[in-house]
């Protein structure tokens, strides 16, 4: 799942899509493929305090863009 998230986000960021659109597409992709309740935040500067299922969170950077993806509930 980690590699899928990184590959998906990298491909969309490389196409210079808006980060809001990428977050929605990544959330939908994970909801469709790994059951519902995924959440996604993408941006350059943000803080977070989230609740998530164990082993269902990833935080990574694509260049200067941070991606936080987690499964809630």
Q: Which CATH architecture has domain 2-71?
A: 2-Layer Sandwich (3.30)
pLDDT at position 43 over 90: yes
**pTM of the predicted structure, to 2 decimals:** 0.89
- Model confidence pLDDT, tens digit, residues 16-27: 888 889 999 999
Tokens coding 38:
């995924």
Domain boundaries, the chain: 2-71
Instruction: Name 72's Cβ contacts closer than 8 Å, sequence gap at least 6.
Output: 37, 38, 39, 50, 51, 52, 53
């Amino acid at each position: 799942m980690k590699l899928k998230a990184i590959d998906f986000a990298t491909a969309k960021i490389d196409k210079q899509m808006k980060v809001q659109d990428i977050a929605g597409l990544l959330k939908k992709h994970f909801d469709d493929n790994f059951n519902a309740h995924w959440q996604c935040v993408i941006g350059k500067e943000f803080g977070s305090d989230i609740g998530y299922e164990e082993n269902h969170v990833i935080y990574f950077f694509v260049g200067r863009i941070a991606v936080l993806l987690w499964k809630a509930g």
